[in-house]
Amino acid sequence: MYPYEIFGLTAIIDSFGERSMKLEAFAETGSEEAVLLESIDAGRLPRHIAVIMDGNGRWAGLRKLPRAAGHRTGIDSVRDIVESCRKLGIEALTLYAFSTENWKRPKLEVRTLMRLLKEYIRREMRNVHENNIRFQSIGRIHELDESVREELRRFTELTGQNTGMTLNIALNYSGRAELTDAVNRILSEYRSGDQSDVTEEKISNSLYTAGLPDPDLLIRTSGEIRISNFLLWQIAYSEIYVTPTLWPDFRRKHLLEAIATYQLRDRRYGGI
């Protein structure tokens, strides 16, 4: 039996069924994962975690595989991180899957990413729903192919009333586009008669992430130290964690490492 009883982690291990054997092995007293679990304070978990999933191509390149193999294995990481966040009790998880700039990639790669996304939705929809996770896509969704939008619609509708965790997948997303859309929305409300002043609250409520807390922790995999046009407004006070681990290798252990590091930070929000 797994020895640690913090914030439902016993439940994680129990609910993984077949994988529980492996996790129990990882979590033997004194193991790296067990030590990490012990070092995490259940009362100070980030409410919202955002992730720039980077390094799929390099992961594949290192193995002399096509880039698509990196994206495909990246989906296993998505599954693992979604499950882990849910079990930890994280309120919101936002994953950057496709930026407005990613259209510059070769057509075949774009098609592969869209196909993998649809595959992920078809495979995971039931599991995500049963785990009481609410799914949302954020970005200029209307510009995506109808077949992708159809899957997103089904997933969003099925899980719309769930209350356990919000999973946002950012697709055809950029922070500047989001802010532009927010300004245009406010402008159109203004023209329709709501001529109250623009406030920070009004801007927040006009973003795709309206209603969610801002990310406490922003994780970027594969070592690049930049924001890449992600959640520009929302990350004003996020703690940034960059790891050299490539996204397809990033699993629960790495998430726990990120959370443990986050808890060592002194968040002052401009105070002293």
| Contact footprint for ligand FPP (CB under 6 A) | 53-58, 71, 74-75, 78, 95, 97, 102, 113, 116-117, 120, 169, 222, 247
- In this structure, what are the phi and psi dihedrals at residue 61, rounded to the nearest 5 degrees? -55, -40
Q: Is residue 270 classed exposed, middle or buried when 0-12, 13-18 and 19+ CB atoms within 10 A define those classes?
A: exposed
Alpha helices in 89-174 (DSSP H): 107-130, 146-159
- Residue-wise over 73-86: b if at least 16 C-beta within 10 A, else e? bbbebbbbbbbbbb
Min dist CB 220 to ligand FPP, Å, is: 10
Nearest-approach distance from CB 137 to ligand FPP, in angstroms:
10
* CA dihedral angle for residue 168, residue 169, residue 173, residue 177, rounded to 10 degrees: -10
Among candidates 44, 14, 2, 11, which has minimal Cα distance to 260?
A: 44
Nearer of residues 58 and 129 to ligand FPP, judged by Cβ: 58
Minimum Å distance from CB 118 to ligand FPP? 9
Nearest residue to ligand FPP, by Cβ distance, number only: 57
CB nearer to ligand FPP: pick between 206 and 222: 222
How many residues in total does the chain contain? Answer: 272
Nearest to 132 by CA among 100, 159, 99, 92: 159
User: Known catalytic residue: 197?
Assistant: no
Q: 171 with 98: CB under 8 angstroms?
A: yes
Sign of CA dihedral 239, 135, 233, 54: positive
The backbone torsions φ and ψ at residue 89, rounded to the nearest 5 degrees and listed phi first, read 90, 25
Task: Point out the catalytic residue in the list 102, 162, 205, 229.
Answer: 102
Residue 102: active-site member: yes
Q: Decide whether 95 or 219 has the Cβ nearer to ligand FPP.
A: 95
Least distance to ligand FPP, CB of residue 58, Å: 3
Minimum Å distance from CB 194 to ligand FPP? 35
Please identify which of the residues 54, 56, 131, 214 carries the catalytic annotation: 54
Q: CB of 167: closest distance to ligand FPP in angstroms?
A: 9
Nearer to ligand FPP, 14 or 249 (CB): 249
For residue 240, the cross-strand partners are 218
Nearer to ligand FPP, 105 or 202 (CB): 105
Tokens of 155: 């997933």
In sequence order, what are the residues at sequence separation of 6 or more whose Cβ sits closer than 8 angstroms to the Cβ of residue 170?
Answer: 94, 95, 96, 97, 98, 99, 137, 138, 139, 230
Residues known to be catalytic? 54, 102
